[in-house]
Structures are given as C-alpha cells and as structure tokens.
C-alpha cells in the first residue's frame, strides 16, 4: 500500500531544477563566448617589454666555494655554485652584501631561475635571478583542489569551474583590455559583472535565489564604481604615488594607461569576491525564511532577513579591513616608524589610497545586504508555497 505520509515528488520540481541547471551553463557559455572569444578580437596585441636575456630553469648541483670579506659597503659574501642548466653544468658566482635585499641563498638541490645573456665579447653569461617555486606552488594548489572537492563534492567541482571562469575573464578580457588602452573602469565593470554572473550561476544554478544575489551584487557594483570615482576625484588621487607597480605600468606604456582607472579597477575587483559571498548568503537566508513560513509577506521577509544581515555585516566588514591590512602589512610597519602625526600621514597618497579602497569596498558590501534582502524578499514573497505545486496525495487503497 502506498505510504500517504511519505515524500511526494513534485511533477514540476525536477524539470524546473533541470531547466535552471541548463540555463546556468548556457549563460556561462554565452559570457565566455562574448568576453573571452569575441571581445579580445578588438584588442590590439600588448606591447611586451623586451627582455635582456633568456630565463632558464636550473638546479644547483653543489657549492664550489664561498668566502666573506669586509668592504666599504659592509660585509660581502661571495659564493661560487655549479648549476645544471640548459643541458650542461655551468659555474655561477653570486655576491651579496649584508643589509641589502637578496634571495635566500640557494643550496644544492634547489631549483633556480637562471638568466642567460651574451657578453659584448661573445661569451656566455649566466646568473641566478630567483628561486624556482613551481613545485611548492603545485603542491599547495593540489592540496587546495583536493580539499575543495572533498568538502564541497559536487559544489566543489562547480566552485572550481567558477574559479577557472574568473581566471579566463581576468587574463583574456580585463588585462588585455586595459593593455589595449581601453578604460580600466569600463573593462573592469563589464568583466566584474561577467565574473559575478558566471560564478553565481555555476555555484547555485539559475533560480529566483541566485537571481536575487546577482541583482544585489550588480547594484552594489554600480554603487562602488560611483563612490570610487567620486572619492578619487575629491581626494585628488593619482593612483601612482606610493604604488610602484602602477608607476612601472605608467612608465612602460608612456602614460597610455590611466593610473586612476587602474586604482578604481582594483577597488572594484577587490570587493567583488566578498560581494558574491554576502549577496548569496542573504538571498539564501530570505528564501529559507520563506520556506519555513510561506505565509510571510515581502515586508516580513525583509525585516527578518535584515536581522540576519546585520549579524553578517558585523563580521564581513572586519574581514574586509583585515584582508586589506594583511596585504598592506609592510605599509603599516613603515607608518609605525614615522615621526609625522596621524593627521599628516592621512594626507599622504600612499595611505589615502588604501583608506579609500577599504572604505569604498566596505560601503558597497554593507549596502549589498539591504539591496539583496529587498530583492530576495520580493522574489520569495511572490513565490507560490511548495504545497501549491505538489500533486494531491494518492488515496489510500485497502490491502488485498
């Protein structure tokens, strides 16, 4: 006899979920075709900086000799190494002086990067430029992937696909677009929306919940762009002072790349990851509230969702500030050693840029909470209760 109290599969739920999955992959595919396949055709090839030589991968075989001597610049250490590179073993001498920036001294068995150049007299010159770190990076990368798959399972697979899409859009659309001279703001905004829509669609499919998260994220991104533009203009930030990387880009490309736009682009991309987390969490909370009490109207859903959102705000703002502080730890050390007062230091562009980056990103993330909650409350409040779409239970029949 059929169990009248058992679970009743919905005739609509499976096809609806399947359609959502298909729609998610179609949207991601369309975004990749547009941003990674078609758009780069309008970009001109990036101007590459000519290298002084050829960089090769080598391995230290042994330390032949090492000695120290006192010089006018301080204690100088000279080491002669034998390095296996390009199918042969070559002697390489490296000299370091105490107090100067230098590599961790390579030891036998260490992988190294070796620069190979030709001397004016025709001889070959080899010198070590950096440590080889590929093996370590691959190990930790594999550990990361394994943990994501073990804990997340199918959702872990989808999140890794989202990560791959993010990489493609960054390296095939945003970076080439900026190098081609297009506005970093416009390129980053388009790429950011593409990343946001792709990652949310892959991780959660396309339904009312993920649509609410996408809508809240998009509105927050627009707010961040507007506030960033206003802050950069009002504070008269150049994007160059105290930023060695931006200054290098500016010099290499003869000022063709807008440094202010790069600063704004960094603010936008930096806040995007936290936005995805905040908006999806809020949308999920609102829909869970609706599932627990289908009679709740949008206003009631919004009020209850905001109670959860306020708790989320308290933690996510601190998380964002700590993330920026961690990335700027050398800057904090420099500030602690200065004799200038805090009021004077705040006017320095290298510090003001970081403050603007943190404040604007935090404002956008905080604003995303009520925006996403409101959208999710409207979507969930207009959703029919589950019981309304389930077929009626089959009548019980007496056992034969």
pLDDT band at 48 (very low <50, low <70, confident <90, very high): low
In the prediction, which pLDDT does 242 show?
66
Check whether 348 has a pLDDT greater than 90: no
> For residue 54, which phi and psi values (nearest 5 degrees)?
-110, 130
Check whether 138 has a pLDDT greater than 60: yes
In the prediction, which pLDDT does 246 show?
73
Check whether 373 has a pLDDT greater than 90: yes
Check whether 310 has a pLDDT greater than 70: yes
Which of 12-26, 267-281, 290-304, 316-330 is most confident? 290-304
What value does the mean pLDDT take over residues 123-130? Answer: 87
263 Cβ contact list (under 8 Å, min separation 6): 228, 232, 237, 239, 243, 246, 353, 357
In the prediction, which pLDDT does 72 show?
79
**Which residues, listed in sequence order, are joined to residue 59 by a DSSP beta bridge?**
84, 111
Instruction: Tell me the C-alpha distance between 126 and 56, whole Å.
Output: 10
pLDDT band at 2 (very low <50, low <70, confident <90, very high): very low
By three-state DSSP, how is residue 335 classified? helix
In the prediction, which pLDDT does 367 show?
93
pLDDT digits (tens, 9 = 90+) for 258-276: 788 888 888 888 888 788 8
Using a pLDDT cut of 70, give the percent of the chain over it: 86
Instruction: Tell me the C-alpha distance between 79 and 365, whole Å.
Output: 52
pLDDT band at 378 (very low <50, low <70, confident <90, very high): very high
Check whether 174 has a pLDDT greater than 80: yes
**Which residues, listed in sequence order, are joined to residue 76 by a DSSP beta bridge?**
69, 97
Is pLDDT larger for residue 257 or for residue 170? Answer: 170
What value does the mean pLDDT take over residues 144-162? Answer: 92
How distant, in Å, are the alpha carbons of 26, 183, 233 from that of 259?
A: 36, 10, 13
pLDDT digits (tens, 9 = 90+) for 176-234: 888 888 888 889 889 988 998 898 888 887 888 888 999 999 999 999 999 998 999 89
**Which residues, listed in sequence order, are joined to residue 271 by a DSSP beta bridge?**
none
In the prediction, which pLDDT does 288 show?
92
pLDDT band at 388 (very low <50, low <70, confident <90, very high): very low
In the prediction, which pLDDT does 68 show?
84
pLDDT digits (tens, 9 = 90+) for 277-306: 889 999 999 999 999 998 889 999 999 999
What value does the mean pLDDT take over residues 22-43? Answer: 88
What domains are there in the chain, each with its CATH number?
18-41+152-387 (no CATH), 56-132 (2.40.50)
Name the DSSP letter for residue 37.
I
- The answer to pTM > 0.85 is no
């Amino acid at each position: 006899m059929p169990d009248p109290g058992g679970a009743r599969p919905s005739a609509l739920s499976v096809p609806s979920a399947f359609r959502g999955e298909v729609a998610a992959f179609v949207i991601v595919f369309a975004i990749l075709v547009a941003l990674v396949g078609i758009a780069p055709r309008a970009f001109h090839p990036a101007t590459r900086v000519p290298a002084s030589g050829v960089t090769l991968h080598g391995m230290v075989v042994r330390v032949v000799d090492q000695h120290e001597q006192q010089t006018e610049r301080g204690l100088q250490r000279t080491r002669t190494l034998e390095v296996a590179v390009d199918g042969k073993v070559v002697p390489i001498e490296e000299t370091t002086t105490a107090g100067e920036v230098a590599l961790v001294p390579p030891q036998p068995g260490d992988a190294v990067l070796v620069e190979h150049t030709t001397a004016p007299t025709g001889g070959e010159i080899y010198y070590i430029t950096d440590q080889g770190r590929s093996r370590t990076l691959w190990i930790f990368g594999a550990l990361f992937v394994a943990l994501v798959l073990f804990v997340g399972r199918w959702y872990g697979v989808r999140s890794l696909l989202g990560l791959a899409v993010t990489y493609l859009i960054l390296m095939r659309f945003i970076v080439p677009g900026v190098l081609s001279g297009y506005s970093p703001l416009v390129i980053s905004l388009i790429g950011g929306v593409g990343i946001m829509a792709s990652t949310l669609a892959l991780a959660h499919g396309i339904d009312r919940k993920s649509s609410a998260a996408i809508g809240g994220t998009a509105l927050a991104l627009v707010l961040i762009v507007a506030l960033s533009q206003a802050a950069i203009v009002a504070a008269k930030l150049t994007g160059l002072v105290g930023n060695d990387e931006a200054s290098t880009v500016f010099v290499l490309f003869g000022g063709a790349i807008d440094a202010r736009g790069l600063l704004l682009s960094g603010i936008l991309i930096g806040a995007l990851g936290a936005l995805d987390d905040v908006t999806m969490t809020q949308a999920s909370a609102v829909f869970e509230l609706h599932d627990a009490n289908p009679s709740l109207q949008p206003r009631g859903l919004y009020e209850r969702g905001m109670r959860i959102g306020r708790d989320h705000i308290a933690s996510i703002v601190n998380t964002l500030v700590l993330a920026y502080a961690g990335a700027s730890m050398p800057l904090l050390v420099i500030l602690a050693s200065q004799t200038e007062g805090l009021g004077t230091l705040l006017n320095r562009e290298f510090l003001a840029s970081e403050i603007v980056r943190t404040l604007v990103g935090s404002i956008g993330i905080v604003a995303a909470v009520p925006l996403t909650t409101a959208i999710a409350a409207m979507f969930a409040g207009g959703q029919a209760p589950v019981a309304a779409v389930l077929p009626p239970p089959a009548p019980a029949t007496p056992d034969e």
